[in-house]
A and B are shown apart, each in its own frame.
Chain A
Amino acid sequence: MKAGHVARLDNMSGNSSADGPQDSQLVVPGDNLGNLGRFEAGHGVLIKNDTLLATKNGKLIIKNDVLTIEPSHTTYIPRPSDLVIGYVEGCTNNIWFIDIGAPFNAILPMSLGPSKASFGSTRKVLDIGEAILCRVQEVEETHSSVVTMKGMGLRKINTGSIDEIDPHLIGYLKINNNVLLKEIKEETDCRIITTDNGRIWIDGNVSGITLARNKLNLISENYHNLIDGGNK
């Protein structure tokens, strides 16, 4: 997290949005981003009385006259077909409850679990606290979701380490055809799998895993500065 920057009245940063919205401008909830006619509302922008209002704290992105806010912090909201890493939180005779980092636990029915599972033996196959690589199959209107382990590469995670970053940073790791991720993989000699809920599986030797985690933490902490550097 980002601590150590104290704002006082005699110590202001002087960032103003008086000239209308600008690309890469930092916005806070309630900021007026102009009228509806000129721009359209994207993620994190609300239309109120034909005025566009920021609803999140983050960076404003203007693309094709659409205003979107890249938030400084996000909560994972599951969508169908998302690849996620989850932890088993509980189980019944035929269902596992999986923590996928969303507001609600997902369920993994026995029929969508590992093939060797049978009625009453769920805990022998996947025990509480174990990590799995799975895919979101279905999301209900109430945000409850169902995950599946039927699919290529979906399995229980037995080795390596799982790190966690903000879900919106995953997209940044994958820009330019995974260039950043490939760089980390080559430097650390580790196998790295990124998932949509912000969890990253790093598998390799201990020194490689430590190095990869440090690099990912560095990217997570300096994300906004790196984006700025790229824009200049």
Chain B
Amino acid sequence: MGGYGDIQMIDENGIRMDGRTATQVRPISIETGVVPVADGSCRMTWGSNDVIVAIYGPMEAHPRKIQRQDRAVLDVRYNMAPFSTSDRIRPGFNRRSREISKVTADALESVVLLELYPRSKIRVEIEVLCAEAGTRCVGLTAASVALADAGIPMTDLVVSVASGKVNDVVVCDLNKEEDNYGEADLPMGVLPNSGELVFLQMDGDLSPEEFQIAWDYNVQAASEIHKIMVDALRRGGAN
């Protein structure tokens, strides 16, 4: 949140800088099976975001101290490629990637049937090739598709999307400018079939009414994105 509220990012007709209305999401495409050596994989493009997720396992958890006797552990690594943004990112783990890896693992743990694989580990590698805005949402959504592609049993898919406030207007799926200069950001992860919430973060300030609008926008967008995820998996499964 840059907080530069004087930059006009929505016109008087409610059209945003990239031509979308307040409720529209950026174009999304999903492709499964893009990493042949992985047990499951997925490439997701969402606007200019481009993310590849590869799943390995279940496999023996190493080091042994991370093993859980009653269930598997999810080892999620979110990483942004050095060339993914206009400013080069120093390679390797940093505080931001650790945080996103942690919240992604927490969200996925609520749907993956980990108790079927005691003492093992499922590796989830999220690699951001091109970042625009909302990469944590893209990473989480793509990871859920890749896990399903890998045949890991899950109770539902996780759909993640963010809404926020720009020029005092609540809008869905923030782009780069809106994310940088907007006033608030509300990424959410929902289970589309049960409607349960598995991931919620908020940056900036939203009134209770604005929060409710952002929530509704996210749930509505999640339902659209879920259709694309299901379609990608069905196309992959049919081959």
Closest to B25 in A: A9
**Contact digits for B36-68, partner A, Cβ 8 Å, 1 yes 0 no:** 100111000000000000000111100000000
Task: Report the count of interface residues on A (CB-CB < 8 A).
Answer: 43
- Among listed B4-12, B126-134, B145-153, interface-contacting one: B145-153
Q: Is the CB of A143 within 8 A of B237?
A: no
The answer to whether A30 and B156 touch across the interface, beta carbons within 8 angstroms, is: yes
Kindly identify, within residues 106 to 133 of chain B, every residue whose CB is under 8 Å from any CB belonging to chain A: 111, 113, 117-120
Q: How far is the CA of A3 from the CA of B43 in the complex (A)?
A: 10
Contact with B along A14-42 (1 / 0, CB 8 A): 01000000000010111110000000000
The reply to whether the CB of A48 lies closer than 8 angstroms to some CB of chain B is yes
Interface pick from A70-78, A114-122, A181-189? A70-78
**Is there contact, CB below 8 Å, between B237 and A29?**
no
Q: A141–B116 Cα gap in the complex (Å)?
A: 11
Q: Determine if A72 and B57 form an interchain contact, defined as CB atoms under 8 angstroms apart.
A: no
Which chain A residues in 59-80 approach chain B with CB under 8 Å? 59, 71-75
- Does B187 make an interface contact (CB < 8 A)? no
Could you show 21 A-B contacts with beta carbons less than 8 Å apart? A3-B33, A3-B34, A5-B239, A8-B29, A8-B30, A9-B28, A12-B231, A13-B235, A28-B148, A29-B153, A30-B154, A30-B156, A30-B192, A32-B193, A46-B113, A46-B155, A57-B236, A73-B151, A103-B57, A103-B60, A105-B60
The 6 closest A-B pairs by CB, nearest first: A30-B156, A7-B232, A73-B151, A1-B33, A5-B235, A29-B154
Interface residue B27 (Cβ < 8 Å from any Cβ of A): yes
Contacting pair A143 B117 (CB below 8 A): yes
The reply on B179 being an interface residue by CB < 8 A is no
User: Which residues in A have their C-beta under 8 angstroms from that of B239?
Assistant: 2, 5, 221-222, 224-225
Is A58 in the interface zone, CB < 8 Å from B?
A: yes
Chain A residues near B156 (CB-CB < 8 A)? 29-30, 53
Q: In the bound complex, how far is the Cα of B232 from the Cα of A32, in angstroms?
A: 18
Q: Are A28 and B157 in touch, CB under 8 angstroms?
A: yes
The answer to the question of A56 belonging to the interface, with a C-beta cut-off of 8 Å to chain B, is yes
A26 contacts which of B30, B69, B113, B234 (Cβ < 8 Å)? B234
A7 touching B30 in the complex, CB below 8 Å, given contacts A29-B148, A53-B155, A59-B237:
yes
- B30 to chain A: closest residue by CB: A7
Q: Given the complex of chains A and B, what is the CA–CA distance between A72 and B193 in angstroms?
A: 21
- Tell me, yes or no, whether A4 is within 8 Å of chain B by CB: yes
Nearest-neighbour CB distance to chain A for B198, whole angstroms, equals 12
Cβ-based interface call for A204 (8 A): no
Q: Check B218 for interface membership: any CB of A closer than 8 A.
A: no
B216 at the interface (CB under 8 A from A): no
The contact string, 1 if C-beta is below 8 Å from chain A, for chain B 198-239, is 000000000000000000000000001001111111111111
Give min CB distance, B150 to chain A, whole Å: 6
